[in-house]
Amino acid sequence: MMGDPAVITLNRPLQTLLISVVVLASMLATTILSSFRNNQDSNNIAGAQIYLAARKDKKNPHFASPSPTPSPAPSTSPSPSPSPSSVPVTRPIKVGIVVNDYANRYGELSSLEASLGKSISTVSIYKQFGSKYNSNLVLDDLSYIKSKGMKLLLAWEPWNPEQGMNQSVDYLQAITQGQQDTYIRSFANSVKTYGSPVTIRFGHEMNGNWYPWGNKPTQYITSYRHVVDIFRQEGVTNVTWMWSINFENTPYSPISNVSSYYPGDDVVDAIGIDGYNWGSSQSWSTWKSFKDIFIPSYNFLTSTYFKPLVVAETASTELGGNKPLWIEEMFKDSLTNSFTKITEVVWFNILKETDWRINSTDASLQSFKTNMP
């Protein structure tokens, strides 16, 4: 059967009201939820801002950003220096030869080169101001040196060797006073005409007492500079000026005293040292190694002057020791480890006070051949 119509009519307004309440409740809930979410987002943003601000604030140990890891600081303590024996030679050692002043000297030099199987870089000869036979630079005599591309090392001695220590002319004074200018100019032009490199050792070993120009520092310097001035006036450009001392002063004094003979940086291009191992060949001599001979003068010169350094004369006798071993130690030890600023060694290859020659014995020749760079 059908329901009561009044009841149906009565329920419709209630239903509408209920629906409205539900809608309003839903809208209210949505509004409340939205408000809650907005507040939460604001709180999140504020928190993030606080966090970022805190990261920028390095005073805050909890939020400070880590600094980059610094590179290790270099040690302030120096690295240990290698012992001299562990320092390899870093430059080629050139070898020159002093040859006799006679007609076959270059034939002898050629034979020596053939025996060594190696080339000689420099040939050293001597000229004297007052000699009747050996005062001028004869270009024909130098043709062999020039053709082989060797350098010429010239010891130019202000004396007459025939007169020994009792000279009729004081050559240092004569040079300073201009009395030797004509000869010097002629010699300068011969060097200029020669054209190839020439190194001149004027008045070598001036700190010794066995030459008449020795032990006269003031006169030596004045005459040295005068000679250089004339060469420059003549426009000679193929010359190197070498100040060439003996390894020690005679009479003996501290090696630093050799500075009293130094003519000046403007007239010195290179420095030479002369020294020999006389062994037991003389009553006053004893066996000395290359290092024993040269270390005091080497240390002084390299700490005082900044010029190329050459051993301009050296050799060893056979008497009183082992010459082959002396040669080996010179090349393989001394020049390699202790004398690293020496660029060349010139061997006095002459039979004179003793047998200085490389081939004084087969063993010495073999040692030179084996150990020469």
**263 burial level (CB within 10 Å; 0-12, 13-18, 19+):** buried
In angstroms, what CA-CA distances link 278 with 26, 344, 353?
Answer: 124, 21, 9
CATH number of the domain bearing residue 342: 3.20.20.80
Residue 16: inside a domain: no
Which one-letter amino acid corresponds to residue 218?
T
Range of weakest confidence among 67-76, 265-274, 299-308 = 67-76
Residue 66: inside a domain: no
Residue 67: inside a domain: no
pLDDT(340) > 90: yes
Rg for the chain (alpha carbons), in Å? 46
Residue 94: inside a domain: yes
What φ, ψ does residue 139 adopt, rounded to 5°? -65, -35
Query: What is the extent of the structural domain holding 293?
Result: 89-369
Residue 30: inside a domain: no
Residue 96: inside a domain: yes
pLDDT of residue 104: 76
Convert the pLDDT of each residue in 189-237 to its tens digit: 999 999 999 999 999 999 999 999 999 999 999 999 999 999 999 999 9
pLDDT of residue 96: 98
Catalytically annotated residues:
205, 313
Tell me which residue has tokens 């002369």.
Answer: 274
Is pLDDT larger for residue 72 or for residue 128? 128
Residue 32: inside a domain: no
Residue 33: inside a domain: no
State the total domains in the chain.
Answer: 1
Q: What angle separates helix 217-233 from helix 181-194, to the nearest 10 degrees?
A: 50
Tell me which residue has tokens 């004074």.
Answer: 173
Strand partners, 243: 271
pLDDT of residue 27: 58
